Amino acid sequence: MNTINGTILKEMLKSADANLSNRQKEVDSLNVFPVPDGDTGTNMSMTLSNGVKDAVASYSENIGDVAKALSRGLLMGARGNSGVITSQIFRGFAQSVEGKKEINTAELSAAFENGAKVAYKAIMKPVEGTILTVIRESSWYANHYFNEHRDLTIEEYFDKLIEYAKDSLEHTPELLPVLKEVGVVDSGGTGLLIILEGFKAYLDGEPFVKEQVDDSVTSNAALEVENDEFGYCTEYIIRLNDKNFDENILKNKLAKIGESLVVVKDEDIIKVHVHTLTPGDALNIAQRYGEFIKLKIENMQEQHSHLETKETKKELKEYGIISVCSGEGLEKLFKELRVDTIINGGQTMNPSCESFVEEINKLNAKHIIILPNNSNIILAANQAKDILSDLDIHVLDTKTIPEGISALTMFSPEADVEDNLAEMKEAISNVDSGSVTYAIKDTSFNGIEVKKGDFIAMTNKTIVAESPDRLEATLGLLNEMFKKEDSELITLITGEGSTEEEIATISKYIEENSDLELELIKGDQPVYSYLVGIE
């Protein structure tokens, strides 16, 4: 094959989407930290699926049009750092093939090289040994090989691109010491390789197909529900991987954002049906419990969106603040700290770029401040800012919940935006954060042997304590955090798994072993038993 058009690209994309979806758990397992989080495989798969959906829906047979639709879908659906970088790679690809009906091998090679360049430009501080390295090295070497073999077919080009991507991926531990210490290759780079292999599988006549779950596990549950006046009929099936899953907690959370709720559990499969005005929140709430096997969202009355656009715009207020968090207690606290909009999400569920765009568009404010409160969400928030470049949007680099809380305590609705941003950034810089959760796999990190199911304590991206006993792990974290000099305040945020007796013991330990003033917050956050901030 010497050329590909939009129709062929659509089929290549479907094969890649299926391959990544089928192997997302494999990619998730490569995450360096053995904690439940917004896993790379899940983020990349959900991002790619959103882009492929838009690309396949394109009526055009021109590759330029299909690539443009893909880029837009990836952009809006991007989740986590890996998802954002993936969207930027194919944004560069789309720019390179813009306006073209079909492309040859030379143009295909140039498009992937441009994808690498655009992805690097989009990241303020590119890190080598990641997906960025894999796309840069593989596209450069493949293009160099093509220049020496100008008669290369499309299939032969992909053979070389995949070969070089594998070589690059194998060397990622040499560039990123943390990968070498844990004994894995980069997860994002692995996801990219899986996408490329999906492309090639279609060209070889053996495209990947998404694995399907047996619907019989939920066939006994009749979904006899009434249509709501407005909203989205949201359905999904999840394969559970959260050992602490509580069906009632999921039901209670979904009940707050929707109606006609049905939750059916069968062994490690759970099926959900809900009518809601915020389907993104319904997905985010569930994502922490496992991987999506199927999902469907339908607009039950499209006219509702038309009615909203006709509403008379209200006068702009001075500030609008968006914060990401999960847990009833944290949501209540952030609202008390003048947050206008809460996007449900965090470590186990990274909101998409589209989630931010939707919420920003609802705010009627001159200045919009976003607190991602997680390092893996900052890129998606910034991408939303770039999309809505006509608005005055400021994304603060809050990497933890304690940083977000500290920043908000310095916000004043009467101060101008420059003063507020300066005060909030200074507050963020003075915070050290820690957390206690459970390990999802055996590993060795920073000289500490971690066993699956044990509790681990982390601070500043470093595991500092490990124990089968949650209290022991928490006290180990505190001993490490007490070392911060010139500190006055410690904030202890309790999660779903904490007990009153345990909290009392921890509080007494802080009082007896430090001079810090304790602020106790009932956060109700999932997965993380305790979040700690010291400043």
CATH 1.25.40.340 in the chain is located at 3-203
Residue 304 above 60 pLDDT? no
Of 487, 486, 452, the C-alpha closest to 466 is 452
Helix, strand or coil, per DSSP, at residue 297: strand
> What are 46-77's pLDDT values in tens digits?
999 999 999 998 888 999 999 999 998 998 88
For residues 473-489, one letter each, b for 16 or more C-beta atoms within 10 angstroms of the residue's C-beta and e for the rest, the string is bbbbbbebbbeeeebee
What is the per-residue pLDDT across 355-405, written as a single tens digit (0 to 9) for each?
899 899 889 899 999 999 998 899 999 999 988 888 999 999 999 999 999
Which residue(s) pair with 317 in the sheet? Answer: 365
Q: Which CATH superfamily is domain 228-299 in?
A: YebC, transcriptional regulation domain (3.30.70.980)
- Asked if 293 and 213 touch (Cβ cutoff 8 Å), the reply is yes
CATH 3.30.70.980 domain span(s) along the chain: 228-299
Nearest to 79 by CA among 124, 134, 27, 42: 42
Architecture per CATH, domain 432-534, reads as: 2-Layer Sandwich (3.30)
Can you identify the CATH homologous superfamily of domain 313-429? Answer: Phosphotransferase system, mannose-type IIA component (3.40.50.510)
CA distances from 374 to 215, 399, 424, 433, 487 (A): 36, 4, 16, 11, 23
Q: For CATH 3.40.50.510, list the domain ranges present in the chain.
A: 313-429
CATH 3.30.1180 residue spans of the chain: 432-534
Q: Tell me if 89 sits within 8 A of 118, measured CB to CB.
A: yes
pLDDT in tens, 233-251: 787 888 877 667 777 788 8
Taking only the tens place, the pLDDT of each residue in 132-180 is 999 999 999 999 999 999 999 999 999 999 999 999 999 999 998 888 8
**Segment 423-449 mean pLDDT:** 88
Q: For residue 352, what is the DSSP state?
A: B
For residue 273, give the 3-state DSSP assignment.
strand
CA distance 232 to 209: 27
Residue 411: both structure tokens together: 């916000």
Residues 73, 54: contact at Cβ < 8 Å?
A: yes
Structure pTM? 0.77
Q: What is the CATH number of domain 3-203?
A: 1.25.40.340
